[in-house]
Amino acid sequence: MLFNSIEFLFFLPITFLLYWFVFKSLKIQNLFIVIASYIFYGWWDWRFLILIALTTFCSFLSGVLLEKFEESRKIQKAISAGNILLNLSILCLFKYYNFFRENLTYLFHSMGIELDWVTIDVLLPVGISFYTFQALSYTIDVYQHKIKPTHDIVAFFAFISFFPQLVAGPIERATHLLPQFLKERNFSYEKAVDGMRQILWGLFKKMVVADNCAIAVNTIFADYQSLDGSHLLLGAIFFTFQIYGDFSGYSDIAIGVARLFGINLMRNFNYPYFSRDIAEFWRRWHISLTTWFRDYIYFPLGGSRCSKWKTMRNTAIIFLVSGFWHGANWTFVCWGAYHALLFFPLLLLGTNRKYTNTVAQGRWLPSVKEAFQMISTFLLAVIGWIIFRAETIHQAWDYIVCMVTKFDFSMPAHGKDPLIYIAILLVVEWLQREKQFGLQLEEKGIFRYRFVRWALYYIVFITTFLLAGEQEDFIYFQF
């Protein structure tokens, strides 16, 4: 079920009303959340429910067993490793089986050896990487004594399957989200209104910015060899904003919907295209995933508390794993390697933590230096997104070469509407860069008048549906 679908337009208010005004006890609310979430997820394919239920039950059981064998660290280690291996095996089977089969077949064929593989037509479950990582965080946190295991199986099922963030994040930690299902929740009008504002801004980013950019992106990438460099650059920029509007838009909607149900989800994007270097970009892009890799892979490997060489090794591993997490294609691995190479100079110079504040804080405009840093970082990200969008590494390289060698400084004949929508997005988010999202307005100045705020919301709402592009699936559903 898509957030921007007619089905969800009916699903959300019905679920909201039943949740707050019919099912008022905590346990019944949690059970209702599980049922609603399984309806939401099963809307794509009911068979997906078997897999998420298996993942959830095994992770819940691992927590119970870890507590039971508290006195034996050896048994606990085996239980934790077993559940992690089970979840990763399921993920690899559904997401990476065909990738490994094809690449191993090609490798052995080049050596004159023919392999006869069993062919499996694997249907990739929507969002499997997201809920698998969420389940893994629980087992690891219980094993590391960061959280006590829960015996409330309904609350645990609600934690794993919570429908707003089920299929594309944010990837929540058990330490943050699970406790919220174990305590009473009270309706807050202010929180609900704030959630609605964030939903509205997320819909604008998805339906107006991302979906309109997608039309031009699909056209340009499909016929890139016959187009001039200015068109190719525009196509790359459009995809840069398509994936941002699409993914950050989903996160805004998810966070806003969760607030309607009294649940707080972590922030997943913090205006990444205003970053002054690649390190800052990765602190602001897909925050829930980057911090997951940091806490569960980078730190255990030694993090930065080791030699420069080992720190660079750990960083490379994180970026390569992050790339491979996105999909079973060498383009994603190459995209991860590309960002690792951009990160290394900052690491060697010790400037990877230089920019942790908001750019041009307290000022209307950035300095010349800040503007140059943001533009150069943005262009480096654009090149990375070409690799990410391409179907093969050869296509990515060919696209970049054509973009550079055939550039003629001409104004592309099409795609002007998305440029206007992108400009609106950038202006709003620049003015709101110290806020959580674009429509989080302070009640001061002209916005101290309620009718002005509501007039703005109605304008954004009407504009979103009038200017919406062709409906597209959220890009990160495939991951």
Determine the Cα–Cα distance for residues 178 and 173; give it in Å rounded to an integer.
Answer: 8
DSSP 446: G
Question: Rounded to an integer, what distance in angstroms lies between the CA atom of residue 210 and that of residue 126?
Answer: 20
- For residues 473 and 112, what is the distance between their CA atoms, to the nearest angstrom? 42
Sign of CA dihedral 51, 53, 59, 65: negative
Q: If you search the block for the tokens 């790339």, which residue do you land on?
A: 323
Q: Where are the alpha helices (DSSP H) in 294-367?
A: 308-326, 330-349
CB of 243 closer than 8 Å to CB of 467: no
**Cis before residue 170, ω within 30 degrees of 0?**
yes
d(CA 48, CA 34): 14
- Write down the catalytic residue from 109, 326, 394, 414: 326
Provide the token pair at 269: 């994007």
Look up 151 and say whether it is catalytic. no
Contacts 24+ apart (CB under 8 A), 295-300: 296/136, 296/137, 296/140, 297/321
Please name the residue ranges forming H helices in 25-178: 26-42, 48-68, 73-110, 128-143, 153-161, 174-177
Query: What span, in angstroms and rounded, lies between the C-alpha atoms of 451 and 156?
Result: 42
* Active site members: 326
